[in-house]
Amino acid sequence: MSVARIDQVQDARALHADCMRRISDFGDRRAFGILFEFFGPRLKTYLMRMGARDAQAEEIVQDVMLTVWRKAGQFDPDQASVSTWIFRIARNRQIDLFRRSSKPELSPDEPMLQPAPEQAPFDTLSQAQLEAHVRDKLTVLPAEQLELLKAAFYDGMSHAEIAAEFNLPLGTVKSRIRLAFDKLRGVIRRE
């Protein structure tokens, strides 16, 4: 790169940094126009190379430049150049758009989104009896297993939270809960 070209690049960087400062400090529309005119076409080309369609790229450019206008005060010339900052915003918007578009739309007819059918009174009674039966069988568990099982299922604590709360190793918590399940399963099956 020639010395003249290096000087041009440095002048452009200084101009862009000054434009960011003027946008931040004074809401200078002319400075914003300079940035938009310079970066708009470059961002669109960049986004299209990353896989965005023409209309998507234009929409992202508009969003990015609006972000530049709104958040110019967050730009720090000691951290990055204006172009690096703006292109990073564009890249992140492109990734966000891709993530949103790759998620399938939910159908209101999705079975998992439908309310559970009402249970017949007999089914409700059977469920209540089963729960009472299991609650009665909890008495066969040793105190250290029962305490951890209650923390997990009645208090809704994760294994890691239980380990911290009871000052136990995580493996001990998991094994005690597993042993409690095994013991309950055995007692209920024998009946």
User: Using one digit for the tens of pLDDT, what is the confidence trace for 79-96?
Assistant: 989 999 999 999 999 888
DSSP result, 17-40: HHHHHHHHHH--HHHHHHHHHHHH
Closest of 21, 52, 16 to residue 36, by C-alpha: 16
Kindly state the DSSP code that residue 103 receives in the 8-state scheme.
S
| Portions of the chain given CATH number 1.10.1740.10 | 3-102
Q: Which fold has domain 3-102?
A: Rna Polymerase Sigma Factor; Chain: A (1.10.1740)
pLDDT digits 0-9 by tens, 95-127: 888 787 766 666 667 666 667 777 666 555 577
Closest of 89, 56, 98, 46 to residue 71, by C-alpha: 89
In angstroms, the CA 43 to CA 54 distance is 12
Whether CATH 1.10.10.10 fits 117-190? yes
pTM beyond cutoff 0.75: no
| Portions of the chain given CATH number 1.10.10.10 | 117-190
